[in-house]
Amino acid sequence: MTAPGKSPVVVAVDGSETATAAAVWAVGEAARQHAPLLLLTAYGFDDTWFGSTADMPSDWIAVKRAEAEALLRRTCETLEAVVPGLPVWTEATDRGRVPALLMVSERARVLVLGEPIGPLLGLFSGSPGLDLAAKAHCPVVVVRGRETVDGPVVVGVDASPLSDAAIGWAFEEASLRNTRLLALHTWHDGDLSHTGVGSGMFQFESLQETGHRLLAQRLAGWQEKYPDVYVERQVEHDKPRHRLLALSHNAQLLVVGCRGRGGFAGLVLGSTSQALLHHASCPVLVVRSGEC
C-alpha cells in the first residue's frame, strides 16, 4: 500500500534482527509524531532494478517479490502487537537498497535503519563514495544500542548556525518524549581556530565562559518555542566524539548535525561519525542543515 499525503516515518526492513529492532523503534516514533509508518524492503541490486537493464528470469523475480511481501506481512504483525491500531503501510521495491532508500527519503519525515552491520554496513562505509546519512533528503536514524527510558535527548552544538537543524529536532524529540534535553558543546586544543569559540571570545573571557555563552545564544529561540523542555548545558574540554559516546550510555537519543563547522565538522563523513554510528550506546539521529 502507498502511504497517505502526510510524510511518514520510513523504516528499512530486511528480516535481520537489527532491522526488526529498527522497525520497533520506528513504530514508537511514528506514534509520538502522530505520523503513518511505512515499511520498505528492497530486493534489487544497488546499481539497477529489475524491469530496466537487469535481465533476470521472471520466475526468480516473482519469488523475490513474494518473499519480500511475506517479510512485510510478518513485520506488520510484530508491530501491531507493539502499537495496536497505528496506520502502517508497506512497500516492496525491485530497486537496490541504496537507490530505494535515497528515493523514499524524498517523501519521508525521517528514515530509520538498523545498526549498520551485515548488509547495511556498506551504506555507512563511504564506499563507493556514498554516505546515506549525508545524502538522504531527510534526517536518518540509526537504531543501535538501547534507549535509557528515563534518560535525556543529547544534542551536539557547535558555533555554526547550521547546527540549528539538529537543535530543533532535539527539542522536538525531547518534548515528544517528555524528557530533558542535554546540550553539549566541546572544544579541544588542536581545533580552537575552527570551533568559533576562540574567535568569539570577549576580552578576559575564558573558553569555558565563551562556550556557555555560545550555548545560551544557540538555544534561546528554541527554548522559547519549547518551554516544556528542561535544558541541561554542558561545556567540555574534549573531542566531541569522546563526550557524545560517553553520554550515549545513559541517553534515549543522540542528535547530531552534519555539514556543520567547528567541533562537529565532517561529522558524517569523518571519524567522528564512524564512531557514533558504530559505537554509540543508543539510537543516533543525523540531521542535515535545513531539515528542521
Tens of pLDDT, residues 181-230: 999 998 765 554 444 444 444 444 577 788 888 899 899 999 999 999 99
How sure is the predictor about 279, in pLDDT bands with cuts at 50, 70 and 90?
confident
- Kindly report each contact of residues 80-83 with a partner whose C-beta sits within 8 Å and lies 24 or more positions away, as own/partner: 82/24, 82/27, 82/28, 83/27, 83/28, 83/30, 83/31
Of 77 and 268, the structure prediction assigns the larger pLDDT to 77
Lookup result for grid cell 496506520: 87
Phi/psi at 190 (5° precision): -85, 0
Of 48 and 99, the structure prediction assigns the larger pLDDT to 99
Going by C-alpha positions, the residue among 171, 170, 106, 98 that lies closest to residue 138 is 106
Of 164 and 70, the structure prediction assigns the larger pLDDT to 70
66-78: burial string, b at 16+ Cβ within 10 Å, e else = eebeebbeebbee
Tens of pLDDT, residues 241-261: 899 999 999 999 999 887 534
Mean pLDDT confidence for 157-178: 89
SS3 (DSSP) at 149: coil
Highest mean pLDDT among 49-53, 143-147, 222-226: 222-226
- Work out the percent of the chain whose per-residue pLDDT is above 90: 45
All 3 cell numbers of residue 33?
509524531
Residue 195 is predicted with a pLDDT of 46
Tens of pLDDT, residues 89-138: 999 998 888 888 989 999 999 999 987 654 454 444 443 223 577 778 99
Dihedral of the alpha carbons of 121, 114, 131, 34, in degrees to the nearest 10? 170
Predicted TM-score (pTM) of this structure: 0.84
How sure is the predictor about 154, in pLDDT bands with cuts at 50, 70 and 90?
very high
Residue 107 is predicted with a pLDDT of 93
Residue 178, pLDDT > 80, answer: yes
Q: How far apart are CA 72 and CA 69, in angstroms?
A: 5
SS3 (DSSP) at 259: coil
Q: How far apart are CA 244 and CA 241, in angstroms?
A: 5
SS3 (DSSP) at 154: strand
Chain mean pLDDT for the chain: 80
How sure is the predictor about 39, in pLDDT bands with cuts at 50, 70 and 90?
very high
What's the CA angle centered on 108, arms 126 and 16, to 5 degrees?
60
Residue 280, pLDDT > 50, answer: yes
Going by C-alpha positions, the residue among 135, 234, 242, 145 that lies closest to residue 191 is 242
Domain architecture of the chain: domains with CATH: 9-143 (3.40.50.620), 153-288 (3.40.50.620)
Strand partners, 110: 9
In the chain, the N- to C-terminal Cα span, in Å, equals 28
